[in-house]
Amino acid sequence: MPTKPLPAEDLSHVLTHAREAFLALHGARIFLTGGTGFFGHWLLESLLHADHELALNVRVTVLTRNAAAFRATSPHIATHTAITLLEGDIRTFAFPPVATEQDTHTHIIHAATDSSGQQASRTPEDLYNDILRGTQRVLELAAHSGTQRLLYTSTGAVYGRSTTLLHTPETFPIPEFPLHSYESAKHAAELLCLAKTLNPKPSTLNPVIARCFAFVGPHLPLDAHFAIGNFLGAALHNQPIHIKGDGTPRRSWLYMADLAIWLWTLLTRAAPGRAYNVGSDHGMTIAEAAHLTAQTLNPSLPILIDGTPNPTAPLNSYVPSIARARDELNLRVLIPLDEALRRTAAWHKTK
At the topology level, CATH places domain 8-219+253-281+318-334 in Rossmann fold (3.40.50)
Answering whether pTM is above 0.85, one says yes
Q: At what angle do helices 286-297 and 337-349 cross, to 10 degrees?
A: 50
pLDDT in tens, the chain (351 residues): 789 999 999 999 999 999 999 999 999 999 999 999 999 999 999 999 999 999 999 999 999 999 999 999 999 999 999 999 999 999 999 998 775 555 689 999 999 866 544 455 678 888 899 999 999 999 999 998 889 999 999 999 999 999 999 999 999 999 999 988 999 999 999 999 999 765 545 567 899 999 999 999 999 999 888 899 999 999 999 999 999 999 999 999 999 999 999 999 999 999 999 999 999 999 999 999 999 999 999 999 999 999 999 999 999 999 999 999 999 999 999 999 999 999 999 999 997
Dihedral (CA of 58, 61, 62, 68) sign:
positive
What is the C-alpha separation between 118 and 110, in angstroms, rounded?
Answer: 18
How far from 106 is each of 81, 116, 210, 309, CA to CA, in Å?
18, 30, 19, 51
Q: How far is CA 186 from the centre of its chain?
A: 13
Helices (H), the chain: 8-17, 19-24, 38-54, 67-73, 75-78, 124-145, 182-198, 227-236, 256-269, 286-297, 323-329, 337-349
Region for residue 27 given its phi and psi (left: phi exceeds 0; alpha: psi -120 to 50; beta: otherwise): left
